[in-house]
């Protein structure tokens, strides 16, 4: 057997041993034998670089260095989950989705909610080709080389897998590995890591994949992304397990809220015995067809929810209350606490949310307060120890004036927060808006961080985001921490931002209630800033997910002369105020509003929606009197059918729709 044949033989053997050990829970060889075979393969590959294979078992060892992690757009958006904390909330969720669906839902899945770092992996022809962090849900960082070092991530699949697909998982660091890692750090005189979750996430961004390989990370897989070729979610995961993915056996099918709660209670008691952290249970509608029918909100799937375990609670002293001013002028009171360990991290501050919350809690400075993490993420005060109270003279009184510019605060009817109305003169608001403008999710301007924005503002060089485009080298070089290279990077980043699409520019302006998703919908619908500025409330209402609050906010924004001057200045500087012109396949559906509902044989729902838009039509989110017709597939909800019949909206099948085009 020559070297090339031996290399291929070793790769096949080691892939088989990995699959048996991590998926089938069978050890076919001893650890010593496995290590000897791996070393032999490494030596042969080193001697024959022409036979390099990006998915060789030797990739588990790592060794490549990545200085920058490219940003990659996800093929399918990674949504977050809504949370629930009680039987009543869970029951309400089931009732809500059944009402939305128009019938009873007989089967759900329950899975453990792993507390780690979410990852999306792309496979082609049975090999791992890319691994991307969750990021902001739309795009994340390419960490493929580091993920390949995780022992239970299959580099080569087995069985009847699709040619191309994405799969989602959660990367965790088990307790034992975390403790060993910290022992090593302490022995070396370094600060120990705070908790396994953050350490797992940070491990994915290490520049040396060899260092990542030293960390005993594991990945548990929980969903094939955007694949409706299986009737149920549970069947798709069982299939994924057969291809080599580590899908935990804890997955259960349940039929009602009682069975869901039984699963929650079981793991609420047993989670202390698990070798890794979980913070709750994920409950999903099992039927893929019903999932398609229910769809998504702007942030979360309607067909899934997270039941979070009761948060850990600790007591500590309330030392003071400070007030923060947000970029929109919203005032947030913050409790300053005696530092205390909570869920693996040191907590020094907690949000008090608003004046109503402070009044409800009836807090005094000096109180011994109970702190927990809301959803085990953001610390909050939930009460106080009545036997250890501060003095009556120290009852917290909500401030009346802005802590930054001293303007009297206002409270808008129907809103819980107080606001500083001095949006054009309050330094913190101005700096916050510019920081938002340059941030990664907005115009993503390299070379400008939050501190740099503050420096430029306080030096009188910028008063708004449009002023960034007038900066020059002579202004910047004399500033502290501004060397020639820093200045060049900053100016290059500003110049490059002119290429960002209109939807990002619109989001970057920081208009209240106009987040990234709303900005994209407005940009696609109107196509330019000029058309958006002139849009009537009736025209705005035609845009999916745009309601009265967003319309009022847009109207207010465009009434302010300073805002219009900023937009004009940005336009003159070359910032994009026009969306990409979409070339239509035809105008066959022009003026028609079409709703897509159900599951289809030839095309996916997304493909049908794209066809509608490509042929001049508009996709409606729900059936109304304005709907022209519904493209109806299998498993269309009964309530939608009834509504269409009641309003006289025609239902047409997939093939009839395709013939129409």
Pairing of strands 593-597, 629-632: parallel
Structure tokens belonging to residue 588: 């066959």
* Token output for 208: 């040396």
Token representation of residue 357: 């919350």
Measured distance CA(521)–CA(513) in Å, rounded: 13
Comparing CA positions, the residue from 121, 138, 139 lying closest to residue 130 is 121
> Catalytic one among 95, 113, 360, 640?
113
CA distance 11 to 52: 12
Q: Is 113 considered catalytic here?
A: yes
Instruction: State the CB neighbour count (10 A cutoff) for residue 125.
Output: 11
Q: Give how far the C-alpha of residue 633 lies from the chain's centroid of Cα atoms, to the nearest Å.
A: 30
SS3 368: strand
Separation of alpha carbons 325 and 328, rounded Å = 8
Strands (E), 234-344: 252-254, 278-285, 304-308, 313-325, 331-342
Say if residues 355 and 405 touch (Cβ distance below 8 Å). Answer: no
Smallest CA-to-CA distance from 417 within 427, 402, 396, 428 is with 402
Strands 593-597 and 618-620: parallel
User: In what helix (H) or strand (E) does residue 158 lie, and over which residues does it extend?
Assistant: none
DSSP letter (8 states) at residue 49: G
Strand-strand pairing, 252-254 and 108-114:
antiparallel
Number of H-type helices and E-type strands within the chain: 24, 22
**CB 365, CB 319: distance < 8 Å:** yes
Token digits for 629?
Answer: 């017709």
Q: What is the number of other CB atoms lying within 10 angstroms of the CB of residue 284? A: 21
Q: Which residues pair with 372 in a beta bridge?
A: 313, 380
Catalytic residues: 113
């Amino acid at each position: 057997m020559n070297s090339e044949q031996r290399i291929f033989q070793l790769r096949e053997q080691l892939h088989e041993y990995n699959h048996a050990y991590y998926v089938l829970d069978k050890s076919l060889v001893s650890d010593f034998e496995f290590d000897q075979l791996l070393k032999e393969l490494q030596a042969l590959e080193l001697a024959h670089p022409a036979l390099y294979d990006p998915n060789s078992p030797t990739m588990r060892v790592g060794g490549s260095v990545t200085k920058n992690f490219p940003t990659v757009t996800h093929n399918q958006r990674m949504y977050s989950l809504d949370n629930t904390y009680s039987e009543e909330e869970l029951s309400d969720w089931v009732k809500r989705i059944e009402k939305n669906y128009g019938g009873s839902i007989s089967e759900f899945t329950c899975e453990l909610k792993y507390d780690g770092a979410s990852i999306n992996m792309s496979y082609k022809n049975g090999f791992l080709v890319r691994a991307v962090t969750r990021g902001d849900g739309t795009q994340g960082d390419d960490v493929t080389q580091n993920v390949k070092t995780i022992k239970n991530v299959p580099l080569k699949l087995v069985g009847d897998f699709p040619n191309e697909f994405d799969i989602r998982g959660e990367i965790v660091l088990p307790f034992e590995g975390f403790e060993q890692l910290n022992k090593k750090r302490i022995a070396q005189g370094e600060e120990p890591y705070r908790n396994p979750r953050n350490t797992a996430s940070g491990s994915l961004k290490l520049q040396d994949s060899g260092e990542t390989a030293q960390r005993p990370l594991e990945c548990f897989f929980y969903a094939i992304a955007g694949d409706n070729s299986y009737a149920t979610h549970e069947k798709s995961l069982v299939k994924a397990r057969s291809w080599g993915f580590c899908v935990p056996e804890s997955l259960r099918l349940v039929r009602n809220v009682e069975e869901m709660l039984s699963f929650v209670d079981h793991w609420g008691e047993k989670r202390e015995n698990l070798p890794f952290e979980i913070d709750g249970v994920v409950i999903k509608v099992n039927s893929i067809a019903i999932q398609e029918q229910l769809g998504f909100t702007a942030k979360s799937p309607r067909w899934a929810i997270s039941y979070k375990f009761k948060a850990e609670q600790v007591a500590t002293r309330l030392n003071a209350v400070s007030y923060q001013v947000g970029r929109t002028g919203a005032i947030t009171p913050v409790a300053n606490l005696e530092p205390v360990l909570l869920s693996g991290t040191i907590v020094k501050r907690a949000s008090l949310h608003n004046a109503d919350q402070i009044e409800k809690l009836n807090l005094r400075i000096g109180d011994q307060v109970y702190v927990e993490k809301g959803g085990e993420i953001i610390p909050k005060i939930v009460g106080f120890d009545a036997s250890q109270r501060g003095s009556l003279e120290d009852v917290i009184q909500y401030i009346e004036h802005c802590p930054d510019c001293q303007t009297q605060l206002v409270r808008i009817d129907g809103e819980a927060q107080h606001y500083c109305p001095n949006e054009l003169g309050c330094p913190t608001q101005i700096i916050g808006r510019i920081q938002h403008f340059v941030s990664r999710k907005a115009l993503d301007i390299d070379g400008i961080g939050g501190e740099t924005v503050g420096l430029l503002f306080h030096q009188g060089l910028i008063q708004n985001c449009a002023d960034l485009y007038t900066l020059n080298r002579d202004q910047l070089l004399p500033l502290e921490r501004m060397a020639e290279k820093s200045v060049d990077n900053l100016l290059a980043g500003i110049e490059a931002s002119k290429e960002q699409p209109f939807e990002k520019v619109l989001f970057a302006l920081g208009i209240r209630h106009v987040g990234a998703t709303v900005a994209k919908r407005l940009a696609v619908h109107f196509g330019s800033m000029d058309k958006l500025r002139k849009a009537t409330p009736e025209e705005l209402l035609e845009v999916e997910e745009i309601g009265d609050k967003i319309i009022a906010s847009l109207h207010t924004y465009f009434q302010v002369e300073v805002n219009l001057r900023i937009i004009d200045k940005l336009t003159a500087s070359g910032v994009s105020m026009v969306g990409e012109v979409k070339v239509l396949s035809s105008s066959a559906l022009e003026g028609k509003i079409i709703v897509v509902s159900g599951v289809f044989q030839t095309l996916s729902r997304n493909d049908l929606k794209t066809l509608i838009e490509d042929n001049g039509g508009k996709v409606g989110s729900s059936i109304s009197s304005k709907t022209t017709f519904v493209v109806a597939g299998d498993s269309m909800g009964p309530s939608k059918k009834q509504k269409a019949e009641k309003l006289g909206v025609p239902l047409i099948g997939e093939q009839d729709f395709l013939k129409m085009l």
